[in-house]
Amino acid sequence: MQYIGKPIRRIEDPRLISGKGSYVDDIKLPGEMFVAFLRSTKPHAKIHVKKTDNIFTGDDINPGKDFPIASRETTYVGQPIAAVIAKDRYEAYDLLESIEVEYEDLPYVLDPAEAIKDEVKVYSGLKSNIYFQKTFSSGNPEKILSESLTLEGELINQRVIASPIEPRGILAYFDGQRLNVWASTQSAHFMRRNLVEFLGFTNIRVIQPDVGGAFGSKIITHPEQYAVAKLAMKLGVPLKWVPTRTEEMISAGHGRDKRFKFKVGFTRDGKITALVGTIIGDLGAPYADANDDESGNVLSTSRMILGPYKIRDALITSYAVHTNKVPTTSYRGAGRPEATYFIERIVNMIANELNMDPIDIRLKNVIRPEEMPYESAFGITYDSGNYVEILNKAREYYNELKSEAGKDECVGLAMYVEITAFGPWEVARVFAKSDGKIIAITGSGPHGQGDATGFAQIVAETLQIPIENVEVRWGDTDIIEDGIGTWGSRTITVGGSAMLKASEELKRRLIEAAAKMLQADVEEIDYSEGKFTNKKSGKSATISEVISFAYKNGISLDVTYVYPVSKPTTPYGVHMALVSVDKELGKIKVKKYIAIDDIGKVINPLTAEGQIHGGVMQGIAQALYEEAIIDPQGNLVNSNLDDYAFPTAVESPKYTWTYIERGLSNHPTGSKGVGEAGAVVSTPVIVNAVENCLGKRIYKIPIKPDEL
Amino acid sequence: MKVIEKDEKVKIRLKINGKDYETEVEPRKLLVHVLRDLGFTSVHVGCDTSNCGACTVVMNGKSVKSCTVLAIQADGSEILTVEGLSKDGKLHPIQEAFWDKHALQCGYCTPGMIMQSYWLLSENPSPSEDEIREGLAGNLCRCTGYQNIIEAVKEASQKLKGH
Ligand code: FES
Ligand code: FES
């Protein structure tokens, strides 16, 4: 029975293709009421909301504070400033129109480069708009720069919106003793911890039902979710909140939004000698949950900016800055796409400057296999792999694409190394039911990635049983000790390692029980494919017999394993695309996309490839289509899926995915993360291709038709 | 001419997946919400501007975005949702193909995507790849990057022709 490494089709699918999924808005409690939020129309203002029955303000939720709900001062358009409760969503939105708000305009700042000057404060409660300023330095970059050829500029990695097809949502019910919460979130456990802290109350159960995607936007607990939980406690009535798409777009899922002013040094033969620059990350308004999340991503951008290259002389100053805009949060890749974008765009510019092949220039600079594990100048350890090999492998595909490229068609290429499988730990619980079924529960919170299938493969393979005998569950704080969640491309690796260790422990206990049952020492028991045999006597028992024996003899077969993690593991790859650029019509089309990745041991190539497709499409969309456009008054201009250029099947290219398993991780699964890789690298792939076609440098994305 | 006042409710009949339903609705209520209230929660809401197609159902033989139809406008119509596709517990070939080809991840766009594919294949049993892409352009998916969905529709078209 071998499951790991096979393209097993998903155990998640039968319900979902039959319409039997259960997303938060599908859940209904008797007597449930609907909550809607009134949102600020001003980027910065003093507010006064006239209170009447059924209208709740910041004072009901966070008295005297402006977060999560603004009570005196609002700091971004879209910030919730009042809530209404009505019998259904139609009446709730009617009721919203009756709320009277007085705004007293305050000066605001939308551009982070302006905000840094601290002339206008984003919020009166801030000492400075600068959340942090940090310097990363190594070697003697200024001196080296003065001795090198140089190139400089400012690259913009624009603000985009995660836009999962299911928006956020929550249903909360306080039964007098316990707060029961169902939420569209990336982790039930993380949300529970947040609610416990906010409410100062521990008897809380959080359930993550089916979730219609997130891409980072549902990691944090959102202002509305805190508010609904609080109101549910107050009122004792089940309360549901589901925003409209427009609300979703003006208040959540904003990510990226970083710029990099750089100067790079290089030699005539393509060796990158030094990199100096300033990164500014826009955090938006000071909502702590979001800022904690995104400021970590600004650090990721800064520390990963050297890419897979041996650059020892570097100086990066990085800022995380508040503005009067929607607080930014993680979006697929969470800081690493920006890093990869910046360095890969710079490498492309140097290659064009020197008229050098994009693979040759990378070969000249990458970390050599014998240098692995390699600690970068900014202290990131690249744990394993062979960057030279993957570049050489990419060459055949690259040359093929090149030879296919017709008139007005170009090939672009980019390489990435990225950090995945973050700690601090994850939990798995594996136990046997008395009827022989194996139940596997993860503390992570899959919401589309298909990890349940991966877990079933891991458990089935470890226990040597048919995969059909394994049921995988998650997303309920009551069914497992605790958990971290699904983000940072960590689930199959960290959650899977916990699962593997728990399964091994269950197997050990089963062997122990079998030894008792078959009157043998543990060493005398041979286990294979669901059968325990006493090597001495030849007597044997099936796994269900052993399970039933264990129950009758008071032996517990319920294992919880907490798997701790200290360091991320680093997958890498080379992606390329054939892109046609029609300057007359201003049309760009990605015709073919080829991805070669090393994500360590691949547990399930079918779902891993699905992650690459989806991530690549999102990265392409950032290169060519998507941008959160904010007008001078601080309003999101394109706040719906018509104006926000969300790609359809027509825009999607043909993808080819290949993988090598050269650099395994140190985790028991041997795997590395793949969830974000596609989005990390595909943006520069496309921009590099277009740049190669245009013969002029591109600094700003998405590439607009009139720039061609 | 029948006039319905603002707060008045009106009785409508719908045939959903072959069964008759009768319900009272306000004139302003959208079909998508009525379908969901009747228990057809496969019909999803993904936007408020008729772009995403997560709410797609087949109404009187045509694929429609049910968020863009008033429930009273649908009075007397026959509606097919994904809950009605499988027969005797056996998956419809399109559902089977979505499973085989890994054409879904979070599954939120999936019911609408399958219904749109169902309609597309009933209109055009042998669509070219470009016709499939165009045919699904009203249905947004954030997870899959579309390729596997296109592959699934191709496979389903082959299977359905074999029948
Ligand atoms: S809900 Fe988006 S088109 Fe109907
Ligand atoms: S599978 Fe998630 S939106 Fe399509």
Residue B3 covered by a domain: no
Pair B80, B34 in one domain:
yes
Nearest to A116 by CA among A257, A285, A322, A297: A322
Domain pair A14-106+165-213+218-250 / A254-375+388-420+569-707, same fold: no
Which residues does B118 contact at the CB level (< 8 Å), separation at least 6?
B58, B63, B80, B85, B92, B94
Domain that holds residue B110: 93-162
* Strand blocks (E) in A7-79: 33-39, 45-49, 55-57, 73-74
Q: Is B42 domain-assigned?
A: yes
DSSP designation for A50: P
Q: Judge whether A315 and A136 are in contact, CB under 8 Å.
A: yes
Strand partners, A574: A415, A596
pLDDT in tens, A384-412: 999 999 999 999 999 999 999 999 999 99
Cα–Cα distance for residue pair A499/A451, rounded to 1 Å: 11
Task: Indicate whether B120 and B75 sit together in one domain.
Answer: no
* Residues B68 and B116 occupy one common structural domain: no
Kindly give, in sequence order, each residue whose CB lies less than 8 Å from that of residue B157, ignoring residues fewer than 6 positions away.
Answer: B121, B125, B126, B127
Residue A365 near residue A272 (C-beta atoms within 8 A) = yes
Strand partners, A84: A36, A55
The answer to whether residues B59 and B113 belong to one domain is no
Pair B99, B80 in one domain:
no
Q: Which residues contact A665 (CB under 8 A, 6 or more apart)?
A: A383, A384, A421, A493, A569, A600, A601, A671, A672
Of B26, B107, B134, the CB nearest to A21: B107
Reduced 3-state DSSP string for chain B:
CCCCCCCCCEEEEEEECCEEEEEEECCCCEHHHHHHHCCCCCCCCCCCCCCCCCCEEEECCEEEEHHHCEHHHHCCCEEECHHHCCECCECCHHHHHHHHCCCCCCCCCHHHHHHHHHHHHHHCCCCCHHHHHHHCCCCCCCCCCCHHHHHHHHHHHHHHHHC
Give, in order, the Cα–Cα distances in Å from A208 to each of A34, A171, A212, A479, B83.
19, 11, 11, 12, 23
Is residue B4, in this structure, part of any structural domain at all? no
Q: Is residue B48 part of a domain?
A: yes
Residues in Cβ contact with B91 at an 8 Å cutoff, skipping those fewer than 6 apart: A14, A17, A18, B85, B99
B116 and B147 together in one domain: yes
What lies within 8 Å, CB to CB, of A200 at 6+ separation is none
Last residue of a domain, one of B59, B84, B109: B84
Tell me whether A245 touches chain B (CB under 8 Å): yes
B137 touches A at CB < 8 Å:
yes
- ipTM comes to 0.97
Q: How far is B16 from chain A (nearest CA, A)?
A: 14
**In-domain check, residue B101:** yes
Q: What are phi and psi of A38, to 5 degrees?
A: -85, 140
- Whether B15 is in a domain gets the answer yes
Among the partner-chain residues B52, B106, B146, the one whose CB lies closest to the CB of A447 is B106
Q: Where are the alpha helices (DSSP H) in A129-279?
A: 141-146, 188-199, 223-235, 245-251
Q: Which ligand is nearest to the CA of B102?
A: 2
Domain ranges in chain A?
14-106+165-213+218-250, 254-375+388-420+569-707, 422-564
Cα dihedral sign, B53-B56-B62-B67: negative
pLDDT at A707: 82
Contact map slice: B 1-20 vs A, CB within 8 A: none
Tell me, what CATH number does B113's domain have? 1.10.150.120
Please give the CATH number for the structural domain made up of A254-375+388-420+569-707: 3.30.365.10
Instruction: With CA atoms as reference, report the closest residue to A231 among A466, A58, A449.
Output: A58
Interhelix angle A188-199/A223-235, rounded to 10 degrees, is 60
Whether B73 and B100 share a structural domain: no
Residue at which a domain ends, from B84, B110, B137:
B84
Q: Is residue B59 part of a domain?
A: yes
Q: Which of B56, B84, B112 is the last residue of a domain?
A: B84
Residue A144's pLDDT is 98
- Rounded to whole angstroms, how far apart are CA atoms A298 and A132? 10
How far apart, in whole angstroms, are the C-alpha atoms of residue A285 and residue A70?
Answer: 12
Predicted TM-score of the model (pTM): 0.97
Q: Residue B160: CB partners within 8 Å, gap ≥ 6?
A: B93, B94, B121, B125
Residues B71 and B108 in one domain: no
Same-domain check for residues B62 and B97: no
**Cα–Cα distances in Å, from A335 out to A248, A263, A330?**
22, 20, 8
Of B122, B156, B40, B148, which is closest to residue A654 (Cα–Cα)? B148
B48 and B106 housed in the same domain:
no
Length of chain A: 708
A386 to A100, A498, A661, A670: CA distances (angstroms): 63, 27, 10, 16
CB within 8 Å: B143 and A90: no
Chain mean position to CA A618: 12
For ligand 2, mutation pick of B109, B114, B148, B150 (most atoms within 8 Å of CB): B109
Probe target for ligand 2 pocket from B106, B136, B147, with the most ligand atoms within 8 Å of CB: B106
| Ligand that lies nearest to the alpha carbon of residue B64, given by its number in the listed order | 1
Write down the pLDDT at residue A1: 62
Backbone angles phi, psi at A218, to 5 degrees: -115, 25
Residue B46 lies in a domain: yes
Question: Is A94 within 8 Å of chain B by CB?
Answer: no
Give the whole-angstrom CA distance, residue A260 versus residue A132: 16
Contacts of A54 (CB under 8 A, 6+ apart): A84, A85, A86, A95
Q: Using an 8 Å Cβ cutoff, are A47 and A70 in contact? A: yes
The answer to whether residue B163 scores a pLDDT higher than 70 is no
Return the amino acid letter for A630: I
d(CA A437, CA A439): 6
CB atoms within 10 A of CB B15: 14
Joined together, the tokens standing for residue A279 give 């990164």
Give B60-100 pLDDT, tens digit per residue.
Answer: 999 999 999 999 999 999 999 999 999 888 999 999 999 99
Question: CA-to-CA distance for B125 and B148, rounded, in angstroms?
Answer: 18
In chain B, how many domains are there? 2
* Same-domain status, B56 and B104: no
Work out the minimum CA distance from A621 to partner chain B, whole angstroms.
10
Contact predicate B145/A616, CB 8 Å: yes
Secondary structure class of A301 (helix, strand, coil): helix
Q: Which residues pair with A186 in a beta bridge?
A: none
Tell me, in angstroms, the distance from the centre of ligand 2 to residue B67's CA. 18
Report the top-level CATH class of A14-106+165-213+218-250.
Answer: alpha beta
Q: Which residues of chain A, if any, have pLDDT below 70? A: 1
* Adjacent-strand bridge partners of A152: A263
Q: CATH number, domain at B75?
A: 3.10.20.30
Chain B residue with Cα closest to A646 = B140
Name the token pair of A559: 């294992």
Residue A569 and residue A667 in contact, taking contact as beta carbons nearer than 8 Å: yes
Residue holding tokens 């007008």? A631
Do B120 and B65 belong together in one domain?
Answer: no
What's at A402, amino acid-wise?
K
- Residue A360, helix vs strand vs coil: helix
Q: What is the position in ligand 2's atom list of the atom closest to the CA of A165?
A: 3
Is CATH 3.10.110.10 the right assignment for the domain spanning A422-564? no
